[in-house]
A and B are shown apart, each in its own frame.
Chain A
Amino acid sequence: MLYREVGQFKTSYQSDEAIFPIAQDRWFVIALILFAFLGVPLFAGQYLYTELLIPVLILSIAAIGLNILTGYCGQLSLGSGGFMAVGAYAAYNLALRLPQTNIVLVFLFAGLMAMLVGLLFGLPSLRIKGFYLAVATLAAQFFLEWAFARVKWFTNYAPSGSVAVGRIELFGFPIDTPGKTYIFVLAFTVVLALAAKNLVRGRIGRMWMAIRDMDIAAEIIGIRPLHAKLSAFAVSSFYIGVAGALWGFLRLGSWEPLAFDVNRSFQVLFMIIIGGLGTILGSFLGAAFIVLVPIFLNQLPSRLGVPLSTAAISNIEFMLFGATIIFFLIVEPRGLARLWAIAKEKLRLWPFPY
């Protein structure tokens, strides 16, 4: 009823190639973005901003990045944490050494540096694939972590190896409150997500998917693996690098290499597996799931008034979180995005299923 595309005719190539060809989808997404920009600031408090929305948005960018590489191009990577670290430290060093640089440029520079490093570590992907590539990217993760812990120049010779960022300004306008930070991060997320969506729908995305589905066949029909794989590594690392810089600057404010350790890589990988490989929507759903569910589970007992010790709550959180992941993977191995797609299929017929 609500979700019926009957009568929506596509009369031009343009409407046929739109990101959201169905009107309901289009309006829903536009409304959602408008709500995120205009509606959320009306009621959101600091906790909602700094602990829930901002982490989800930033990690969504990282998840989109990894999804491009793993979900679309089929190259398994365990180096996301390391590439995030590259972004964060590149941004820190640029902001420190050239303090006049516009903050948007700082973040783009972070992405570019991560892209270069990603290209470098993407080279092995031309020879090896699957688990072997995963191990090669794991090496990248450990190497990068080591470099930022040991090479003192990256941390400006801070005795503790922990770096902190100063005031962040955009065109002389300080980004100091959680609300402003949220809008800033949201703008980045929306632009990057739209760019990713368009990238994967076009020639480049199809090239990646062809490589993913069968690289030999793709090569035979004229796709250059070097081109496809390295471009996926480059774009993916760019996204992850920007996410790393945002994470360091706007989420942590002060960080050490441990903030981007191998657990961060796994976290981002789990996001795209749970959210749905090869979908942009899945990156968002997965990030939200991985960030919000543990916090929700942790708060649940006290909100429900169940008296439990802090240790018990933490342990229950781990157990329930693990159980939820297994539950979702059994119910729908293709991720939350697939569940959403099924829901839409059902809604087309509702309330008169046959």
Chain B
Amino acid sequence: MKARRLLAIAPAALLAAAAYGAPAWAQNEQFIPHLVYRTGPYAPNGAPFANGIADYYKLINERDGGINGVKITFEECDTGYATDRGVECYERLKGKGATGASYVIPLSTGITFALTEKAPIDKIPIISMGYGRSESRDGSVFQWNFPLLGSYWTAADILVQHIGQREGGLDKLKGKKIALVYHDSPYGKEPIALLQKRAQMHGFELLLYPVTHPGVEQKATWLQIRQNRPDYVLLWGWGVMNSTAIKEAVAVNYPRDKMYGVWWSGAEPDVRPAEDGAKGYHAITLQHTAGQFKLHEDLKKYVYDKGQGSAKWEDTGEILYVRGLINAMLGIEAIRTAQERFGKKPLTGEQVRWGLENLDLSADRLKQLGFDSEVKPIKVSCEDHEGARTARMQTWDGKNWKISSDWYTGDDKVLLPMVKEAAAKYAAEKKISVGCLMMN
């Protein structure tokens, strides 16, 4: 009987303990929620990105004592790449810290879509670097979204440009077949609109092959590819879907040299499982590529030598880890920009949004930060929440990713009208008033 009673009391005690835990926030701290996924089918890609972000925050605290003396605090929450859990994590973390969440990095197009509806109400900006809604580049409609460095439309546009160049001119694309193997979710469907437009312009045929989440079953898709023999395959996958696709390409003997991945399909976890089979596979990069760079000296000295690193030191040159560093850097610099205007104290999400919209990193500033080898100068404005639209190609040589093309820039003659149209449609559907958000 007694043991039973204890059993009954234990959960109650745990509940009470959980209900307790009153928050006490230090005054001079800037809180950033950290939505990650270290479990589930997307964990191999989610974990290095999350590590990069966390390590950069730690570096800023250890080396500089925070942003102008304001310490960064952050808390992780595992979303498992699921939209409802992601929203739960966001709701759980958004109110923490002295001034609430500074910004949120969802690292999932689905979660970005869901949070887009919440951001204007909660006044917390969303940084969706290289993903999210392509039309959210228009800051007069999507005032709180920042798809920095490039959207999926930009990526698809540059990929078509590159394939055109490889064929000897965009006019040579006429009559060619380009297949898109995509994750059947908003993420994978994003580029379709742009590719359709480009297909119309240049007269190539676009073949669409959706792959169901999580993407471990692609036999039927690749059988179709084998039958239709497209001239090029664009891969829009994430997590295990990428490595599976490459393995299937090997199985049906589709030349890897004719395959181009989006920047989320071009990291080490995507190609390594296919071993030698992945050799020759290309992917567009979000400006940077793999490898340690200047910042890593500080990272070693201030974080890894103190045993505080989130990843293994050998892995800190991985593409997704580096991308995490860049993402965190852009967020921190936005806070710094906002501090210049609102004072060197913890800022609200609304103030950080201003910082993001006025983010302007020159080549000199990037050199100072140690990122000059990784990203090009970026200037964000209300009209352009993307800030930059340049990318190049990289190729897997069996061991490493190597840059294999010159720089390309997204063609605004194609992109801008599409962005305007889609943003206007969204504004009409949601009945939101259009205009840049001003702050006094």
Contact = CB atoms under 8 A, between A and B. Distances in A.
Given A50-B91, A162-B186, A303 B110 contact: no
B168 to A, nearest CB: 30
- Residue in A161, A255, A310 with the greatest tally of chain B CB atoms within 10 Å: A310
Interface string B423-435: 0001001110000
- Residue in B17, B84, B187, B431 with the greatest tally of chain A CB atoms within 10 Å: B84
B110 A299 contact: no
A296 B117 contact: no
A314 B39 contact: yes
A314 B85 CA distance: 11
Contacts of B88: 51, 295
A202 interface: no
A190 interface: no
Interface stretch (B189-197, B240-248, B256-264): B189-197
B18 A314 contact: no
A258 B114 contact: no
A100 interface: no
B116 interface: yes
A149 B91 contact: no
A259 B83 contact: yes
Q: How large is the interface on A (under 10, 10 to 19, 20 to 34, 35 or more residues)?
A: 35 or more
A50 B118 CA distance: 12
B159 to A, nearest CB: 17
A309 B50 CA distance: 12
Nearest to B152: A160
Given A51-B88, A164-B429, A310 B76 contact: yes
B36 interface: yes
A300 B18 CA distance: 6
- Residue in A162, A176, A313 with the greatest tally of chain B CB atoms within 10 Å: A162
Contact of A303 (B21, B43, B47, B76): B21
B203 interface: no
Interface residues of B, number: 49
Contacts of A299: 18, 92
A243 B335 CA distance: 41
A311 interface: yes
Interface string B412-430: 0000000000100010011
A296 B18 contact: yes
B189 A160 contact: yes
Given A252-B114, A253-B118, A166 B422 contact: no
Given A164-B429, A311-B38, A149 B193 contact: no
Given A96-B429, A310-B36, A314-B78, A258 B110 contact: yes
Nearest to B115: A254
- Residue in A46, A164, A251, A314 with the greatest tally of chain B CB atoms within 10 Å: A314
Contacts of B84: 55, 251-252, 259
Interface of B: 14-15, 17-18, 20-21, 36, 38-39, 43, 47, 50, 75-78, 80, 83-84, 87-88, 91-92, 95, 109-110, 113-114, 116-118, 121, 133-134, 184-187, 189-190, 192-193, 210, 213, 422, 426, 429-431
Interface of A: 46-47, 50-51, 55, 96, 149, 156, 159-162, 164, 166-167, 176, 251-256, 258-259, 261, 295-296, 298-300, 302-305, 309-311, 313-315, 318
